[in-house]
Amino acid sequence: MFDNLQDQLQEVFDDLRGKGRLTEGDISAAMRRVRMALLEADVSFKVVKPFITHCTERCMQADVLESLTPAQNVIKVVLEELTVLLGETDSKLDLAPNKQPNVIMLVGLQGSGKTTAAAKLAYLLKRDGHNPLLVACDVYRPAAADQLETLGGEIGVRVYRSDSKNPVQIAQEGIDDAINNLKDVCIIDTAGRLHVDEDMMQEAESIKAAVEPDQVLMVVDAMTGQDVVNVVEAFSERVDFDGVIMSKMDGDARGGGALSIRQATGKPIKFISSGEKPDSLEVFHPDRMARRILGMGDVVSLIESAVKVQQEEEEAEATERLRRMDLNLNDFLDMNRQIRKMGGVGKLVSALPGGDRMMAQGQVDERALDRMETIINSMTKREREKPDIINGSRRKRIADGAGVTVTEVNQVMKQYAEARKQVKKMMAAYGDTANQPRGKGKKGKKGKKGRRTRMPGIGGMSMADIKKIQSMME
């Protein structure tokens, strides 16, 4: 999503950079192109008009036109205005710490991904230390409760369901069940329709009045386009929800709906979902999305993903091996698997500045990790632990077992050797901080032996190191 918009905006900014000094005519021409790019991306005209007006007014000021880097200042203005358009500040899910349970009600049209979003939200809350309960209140769609129960089983979250045909009664019973079983969050999955109608609205109003939810979230299909504004406005008038979950952000739609919602309705986007996996629901950050749209990458989210996939025991063990400068093929395989947990090579590269363009131009081989893992898994345990014993005949056997050529095996071994070399250089630069004293306290006494300083990133590496290894895998 946003690929076409991103390409068009980058073309505009590339042209501005090539001009050096900018005139008012240059700014006007650039803003016309930005306006057309937004409209083609299906952003509502009601949103585009004031956005372009604000950008133009700011870019026409002397501190932009007469600066040493006017093009960069124009980009900065567009970035700031785009961030404001998307919400400016993060809108977090507010849960009362002393209430049992917090009630979250999901509403939206049928097919928007409401049931899947309920399970993803439960997974996210569970990962953050909560004990959620899912409540199946969709009594109309065939097997809706079965779907929710299947999803709940996959993530280890219990689902309350009932034979009753009264959604309001089910919602109330679900909350009672959450209280009786000490659940701190109760997520109510309501029914939807193919379009906005009176029956759906009345049912949503009745459930809301009966259970008095702490948060009402509307699930919106990002592929709907600017028509999503009309749907959101209709729900806002009747249900008055607190925020939006944008689903299917990995689709190939133009993405105008996501850019239109906040400005047109005043309702914040709280979460976005890009994929089918339970962990694909992410907190929405307006500033990071704005940077992605302008092709500036999202390294902050990449770092957070790296931290999320790290396991303490694995990290301690890997760091110990790195400290001994004894990187073997098992360690190399672990690094690749951790990159896969972060979304794979594609997500890793797309989070870097200019990465989306590289992906679109086919410069990144997204199957590189798969081939590498297949080749390493074709080796014996001893070969993975002692890569130096892998001679020509062993490489031929490994290639036959993996269904690849010897050249591809040689390439993996070369990448491993380069990674091993980089790790040795990094460890030499970092130094072994084990058994280092913490320093003197206020009374001048030495503290206890400090733990080895943990290095951020994947397997104890910094983000710069990740980039080095990524370049070796391309």
Q: What is the pLDDT of residues 388-420, one digit of tens each?
A: 899 999 999 999 999 999 999 998 888 888 777
pLDDT of residue 342: 59
Average pLDDT over residues 239-248: 88
Which residue matches tokens 């992410």? 282
pTM for this model (two decimals): 0.63
> What residue segments make up the domains of the chain, in order of their start?
3-86, 102-294, 303-473
Q: What is the pLDDT of residues 117-165, one digit of tens each?
A: 999 999 999 988 899 999 999 998 888 999 999 999 999 999 999 988 9
Report CA-CA distances (Å) from 256 to 48, 112, 235, 264, 357.
10, 16, 19, 12, 20
Q: What is the pLDDT of residues 3-48, one digit of tens each?
A: 778 888 888 888 888 887 888 899 999 999 999 988 888 888 888 9
Q: Torsions phi, psi of 405, nearest 5?
A: -90, 160
Q: What is the pLDDT of residues 310-369, one digit of tens each?
A: 544 455 555 555 555 557 888 777 777 766 665 555 555 555 555 556 556 555 566 677
pLDDT of residue 461: 42
**Is the pLDDT confidence value at 383 over 80?**
yes
**Is the pLDDT confidence value at 257 over 90?**
no
Q: What is the pLDDT of residues 172-213, one digit of tens each?
A: 999 999 999 999 999 999 988 777 778 888 999 999 999 999
CATH number of 303-473: 1.10.260.30
The counts of H helices and E strands in the chain are 22, 8
Q: Answer whether 6's CB lies under 8 Å from 293's CB.
A: yes
**CATH number belonging to the domain at 3-86, selected among 3.20.20.70, 3.30.465.10, 2.60.120.1440, 1.20.120.140:** 1.20.120.140
**CATH number belonging to the domain at 102-294, selected among 3.40.640.10, 1.10.3720.10, 3.90.1150.10, 3.40.50.300:** 3.40.50.300
What percent of the chain is modeled with pLDDT above 90? 29
CA 371/CA 325 separation, integer angstroms:
26
Average pLDDT over residues 261-268: 80
Report CA-CA distances (Å) from 435 to 157, 213, 259, 315, 448.
43, 52, 52, 18, 9
